[in-house]
Amino acid sequence: MRQRESDGTPSKLSVRTVADQLECACVSRGRRREFSQYDYYRRGVTIDQALIIRGLIGAVAAGIITGWARQRGSLTASGQWAAFFMGVIVTAVGWPWAALLIAFFLTSTALTRWRAQEKLQYTRATLPQSTERTATQVFANGGAFMLLAVASAQSGNFWWVLAGTGALAAASADTWSTEIGTLFGAAPRSILTWRPITRGMSGGISVPGTVAGLAGSLCIAALATFAIPGFGWRMTVAATLGGFVGCLGDSALGAGWQSRRWCDRCGEWTERRVHPCGYRTAHRRGFVWMSNDLVNALATLIGAIAAVAVGRLLKP
């Protein structure tokens, strides 16, 4: 900020320096030129071979990983196709993106499976009881990341790289905080009203869940630091904070706007359409169209924007 005030130009200059250092998320300078040299997107004639090769390798890897996850009950059939598609696209864009997506997928799948029966007990009355992710859930968590990865490769602008990392960091933070918070956050409170809230309901936060959210965000940001040339510690901080802000945004949207249902028989709030007691629940609060998946997708966008905002503040 101070620099910008002293004379109008350095901030622009330093953006270019950062962008020049990094060029493109996926790779080093050489490959960034491949994109512009072939002008792949505008002419649509020449095919970038490196892109195809990465895509094919991505297809094999994504096939193995998602097939394994489906077999172990972590993905539905549609969820498997969605995750496969995302894996191929992201790998075609560049290896670092693939590494980030795999890290996110494996850690969140492992955390979701960890003591799953116990967690289902805690959330029996509040959440639909399934550990299998559907296509909608997969895209809600990783869709923004995938689009931003493509945007970064196309534009070669570093801020898209940071935005993509922030989006995935937010998804990771949200998953980690939900899983750990459900297990150890015995008495969650609403992030908006600070009143006690039923375990498992969206919008509740707890100390263990919040710490886990920060760790989940840091996990992705730290990996990006190693995987993306020239990322730098400042951007690690930016991506970590961005992801964490996205996670808090998820809770705030969950508490304020997400559709909330009421069981007349038990007198309890829930996100289930049919309560465990067998009674059909009714929509009572929030927007009826604001589903948990939509909240998650918006949270990844918040993570992307927050990461870029912090990154711009921290940039040398």
Which residues in this chain contact Zn ion in the complex, by CB under 5 A?
263, 265-266, 275, 277, 279
With respect to Zn ion, which residue has the nearer C-beta, 207 or 274? 274
Shortest distance in whole angstroms from residue 276 CB to Zn ion: 7
Shortest distance in whole angstroms from residue 292 CB to Zn ion: 19
With respect to Zn ion, which residue has the nearer C-beta, 51 or 263? 263
Task: Tell how strand 268-270 and strand 282-285 pair up.
Answer: unpaired
With respect to Zn ion, which residue has the nearer C-beta, 30 or 267? 267
* Residue bearing tokens 């922030």: 166
With respect to Zn ion, which residue has the nearer C-beta, 253 or 263? 263
With respect to Zn ion, which residue has the nearer C-beta, 263 or 305? 263
With respect to Zn ion, which residue has the nearer C-beta, 10 or 128? 128
Amino acid at 197: I
Shortest distance in whole angstroms from residue 126 CB to Zn ion: 11
Shortest distance in whole angstroms from residue 40 CB to Zn ion: 56
For the chain, what is the HEC assignment? CHHHHHCCCHHHHHHHHHHHHHCCCCCCHHHHHHHHHHCHHHHCCCCCHHHHHHHHHHHHHHHHHHHHHHHCCCECHHHHHHHHHHHHHHHHHCHHHHHHHHHHHHHHHHHHHCCHHHHHHHCCCCCCCCCCECHHHHHHHHHHHHHHHHHHHHHCCHHHHHHHHHHHHHHHHHHHHHHHHHHHCCCCEECCCCCECCCCCCCEECHHHHHHHHHHHHHHHHHHHHHCCCCHHHHHHHHHHHHHHHHHHHHHHHHHCCCEEEECCCCEEECCCECCCCCECEEEECCCCCCHHHHHHHHHHHHHHHHHHHHHHHCC
With respect to Zn ion, which residue has the nearer C-beta, 4 or 265? 265
Shortest distance in whole angstroms from residue 34 CB to Zn ion: 59
Shortest distance in whole angstroms from residue 124 CB to Zn ion: 11
Shortest distance in whole angstroms from residue 261 CB to Zn ion: 10
Shortest distance in whole angstroms from residue 269 CB to Zn ion: 11
CA distance 308 to 159: 6
Query: What is the phi/psi pair of residue 186, to 5°?
Result: -65, -35
With respect to Zn ion, which residue has the nearer C-beta, 274 or 288? 274
For the chain, the first-to-last Cα distance in angstroms comes to: 10
